Amino acid sequence: MAKVKSFVNNPYQENTYLLYDETGECVIIDPGMYTATEQNVVTHFIKDNNLTPVMLLNTHCHIDHVLGNKFVFDQYGLKPKFHIGESEVLAAVVAYAPQMGIRYEVSPLPDEYLPETGSIQFGHTTLHLIFAPGHSPASLCFYDKEANILIGGDVLFRLSIGRYDLPGGSFSTLVDSITTKLFLLPDDCTVYPGHGPETTIGYEKQNNPFMN
């Protein structure tokens, strides 16, 4: 069964996730590593646990979620996979990073893009794709049914939701994504968001102030 390890990275306090299972294969999701220290913490965890990174995934392509894409490519030879609808979001990072005082090493582009639905595999683990736009134009969440965990990007947070005032964002679309997609998952599904602590689907159904 897949396990999750999270690392808080970069000035935006973004959650970078490693998913790995008993085969030793692992997936890196939303690498936000920015400093050498942040890079070392992730690579040391991979090495110390004898893990083999086999896939790099981006839930979406805002700067804080792709800062480590180039580093992961240099270290492990992995190009990112994301929905093609995020391509313009990624392309825009080069222009706005300097304005924000952020050093950005340009991410490689995918060899293949992820569809809106379906699944991807690594080791003994299957991740189901959930298309959840609203925070960004083509966000994907990754659901491991067996472990009952969701890597949710910036769609749903503990007692909050993703920003919808950025280019390609929409409040109504985001709420629709959450209610018609994420809230269909089991109440005890653990949600690992792009920022802040984890939560559960049931807790957010009951308590999230944006969803009433």
Domain segments of the chain as ranges: 3-211
| pLDDT at residue 18, as a whole number | 98
pLDDT of residue 47: 98
Q: 3-state secondary structure string, 122-190?
A: ECCEEEEEEECCCCCCCCEEEEECCCCEEEEECCEECCEECCCCCCCCCHHHHHHHHHHCHHHCCCCCE
pLDDT of residue 59: 99
pTM for this one?
0.98
State which H helix or E strand residue 193 sits in: strand 190-193
Close Cβ partners of 173 (under 8 Å, ≥ 6 residues apart): 133, 134, 164
At 9, the amino acid letter reads N
What are the tens digits of pLDDT across the range 96-141? 999 999 999 999 999 999 999 999 999 999 999 999 999 999 999 9
pLDDT higher than 80, residue 68: yes
pLDDT, averaged across the chain? 98
Percent of the chain with pLDDT over 90: 99
Query: pLDDT-based confidence at 85, cuts 50/70/90?
Result: very high
pLDDT, average across residues 147-155: 98
Question: Which pLDDT does position 10 carry in this prediction?
Answer: 97
> pLDDT digit string (tens) for 39-58?
999 999 999 999 999 999 99
pLDDT digits (tens, 9 = 90+) for 13-38: 999 999 999 999 999 999 999 999 99
Q: Burial letters for 152-190: b for 16+ Cβ neighbours within 10 Å, e otherwise?
A: bbbbbbbebbbebeeebbbeebbeebbeebbbebeeebb
Give domain 3-211's CATH superfamily.
Ribonuclease Z/Hydroxyacylglutathione hydrolase-like (3.60.15.10)
Residue 212 reports pLDDT greater than 90: no
